[in-house]
């Protein structure tokens, strides 16, 4: 089983990652930390009209993570994906390039590929009339082509959405003119953890009866860590020892683990990850958490103002080679996905939705350790303004 040293051998943190770690080691005050109580309107989480604005301005325009590269580890693979509300099809063509298509045959609009799991596929064949496509989306063949006089196969390829693969993440946007510059910058930063070389151990789709921002909020502050997670991961962390900054509109934070940092080489990735846990909150709605020897990527796909699908991916250094290795990773998966995320973070979001929907409070109140929540709310507001 690959350990944390093997996983990070020869890797160094980025300048930004090392800076946050040194802030924690030096006891520096996070410059983002507010000096006064702040608030966010409760209606931001409960108003259906507000959700429709967010959907139009963000989820129908901005680049967003759809999956880790590890979902399609080899050329010649395809996986249907429906949780965004669109029938998508992710492929990796024979040259290794990732694509995002609408999972719709160009002939009669039939769903092209059924199922939900990644599978090897040399070509994509429509189940209705057997129109056949390459994994790069081009129409390869169709039965009785003479019955379509004047039709050029080159004009009948699958509808492809703008996409980008960088640092072990696959991004897409439904918006034709999407700018992926900020997505590329933060992906390169996340790629410093070796994300592109990891193996997908597990993925699970969760249904959370809460606003998507309530889920994001749980990963934007450390005030709750030793309290909400008191019986799971809380004992591994120092209380409120955190630092954060931004990469474009995306947020990057670091939390001090219980281990002492004196004498630790913070320019060595393996050493750094033993004493600091990073978290990335990618606009609009993705969370990346590199634990010491694996990475969780959670992709949030809001369905309404009070319902969110969350797909959790766990990436590990290599496929388990022994029963002992598999048992180790199964226990890690059960702790984070089921114990921490589902039973604690997601449940807290559901309880928050219930409380805010009652109208009992007009705004959520944020202390000085929760400045990330207000900063993220400001980033959402900026996205709404930019779309107008």
CB proximity list for 146: less than 8 A, separation 6 or greater: none
- Taking CA atoms, 217 is separated from 73, 107, 154, 276, 288, in Å, by 31, 44, 46, 20, 13
* 288, 279 Cβ separation under 8 angstroms: yes
pLDDT of residue 1: 42
- The pLDDT profile of the chain, 388 residues, written as one tens digit per residue, is 445 556 667 789 999 999 999 999 887 766 667 889 999 999 999 999 999 999 999 999 999 999 999 999 999 999 999 999 999 999 999 999 999 999 999 999 999 999 888 889 899 999 999 999 999 999 999 999 999 999 999 999 999 999 999 999 999 999 999 999 999 999 999 999 999 999 999 999 999 999 999 999 999 998 899 999 999 999 888 887 788 999 999 999 999 898 888 889 999 999 999 999 999 999 999 999 999 999 999 999 999 999 999 999 999 999 999 999 999 999 999 999 999 999 999 999 999 999 999 999 999 999 998 999 999 999 999 999 998 8
Q: Where are the beta strands (DSSP E) in the chain?
A: 38-41, 64-68, 77-81, 88-92, 98-102, 119-120, 124-125, 132-133, 139-141, 163-166, 169-172, 199-208, 237-247, 250-257, 276-282, 286-290, 295-304, 307-316, 363-366
Residue 316: partners with Cβ closer than 8 Å, 6 or more residues away:
2, 198, 199, 201, 293, 294, 329
At residue 237, the 3 state secondary structure works out as strand
Look at residue 337 in the predicted model and tell me its pLDDT: 95
Give the model's pLDDT for residue 3: 52
DSSP alpha helix (H) spans, the chain: 4-8, 15-26, 43-46, 48-54, 181-190, 212-217, 225-228, 269-275, 323-333, 347-357, 371-387
Q: What is the pLDDT of residue 240?
A: 77
Interacting residues of 374 by C-beta distance below 8 A, sequence separation 6+: 34, 38, 39, 40, 366
Q: Model-level pTM greater than 0.85?
A: yes
What lies within 8 Å, CB to CB, of 74 at 6+ separation is 92, 120
């Amino acid at each position: 089983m690959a350990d944390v040293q093997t996983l990070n051998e020869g890797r160094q943190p980025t300048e930004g990652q090392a800076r946050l770690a040194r802030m924690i080691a030096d006891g520096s005050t996070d410059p983002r930390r507010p000096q006064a109580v702040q608030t966010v309107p409760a209606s931001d989480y409960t108003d259906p009209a507000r959700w429709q604005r967010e959907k139009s301005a963000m989820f129908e325009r901005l680049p967003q993570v759809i999956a880790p590269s590890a979902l399609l580890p080899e050329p010649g693979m395809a996986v249907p994906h429906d949780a965004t509300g669109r029938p998508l099809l992710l492929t990796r063509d024979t040259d290794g390039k990732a694509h995002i298509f609408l999972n719709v045959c160009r002939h009669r609009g039939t769903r092209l590929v059924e199922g939900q799991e990644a599978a090897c596929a040399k070509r994509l064949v429509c189940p209705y009339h057997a129109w056949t496509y390459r994994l790069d989306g081009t129409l390869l063949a169709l039965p009785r082509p003479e019955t379509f006089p004047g039709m050029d196969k080159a004009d009948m390829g699958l509808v492809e959405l703008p996409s980008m693969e960088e640092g072990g993440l696959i991004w897409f946007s439904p918006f034709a003119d999407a700018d992926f510059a900020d997505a590329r910058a933060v992906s390169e930063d996340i790629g410093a953890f070796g994300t592109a070389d990891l193996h997908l151990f597990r993925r699970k789709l969760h249904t959370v009866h809460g606003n998507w921002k309530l889920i994001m909020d749980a990963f934007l502050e450390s005030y709750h860590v030793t309290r909400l997670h008191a019986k799971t991961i809380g004992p591994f962390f120092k209380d409120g020892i955190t630092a954060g900054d931004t990469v474009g509109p995306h947020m990057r934070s670091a939390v001090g683990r219980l281990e002492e940092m004196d004498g630790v080489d913070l320019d060595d990735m393996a050493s750094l990850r033993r004493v600091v846990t990073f978290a990335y909150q990618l606009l609009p709605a993705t969370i990346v958490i590199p634990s010491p020897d694996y990475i969780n990527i959670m992709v949030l796909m809001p369905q309404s103002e009070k319902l969110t699908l969350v797909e959790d991916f766990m990436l590990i250094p290599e496929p388990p080679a022994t029963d002992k290795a598999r048992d180790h990773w199964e226990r890690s998966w059960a702790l984070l996905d089921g114990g921490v995320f589902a039973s604690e973070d997601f449940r807290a979001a559901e309880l928050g939705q219930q409380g805010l929907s009652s109208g009992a409070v007009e705004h959520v109140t944020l202390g000085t350790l929760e400045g990330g929540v207000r900063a993220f709310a400001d980033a959402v507001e900026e996205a709404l303004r930019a779309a107008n």
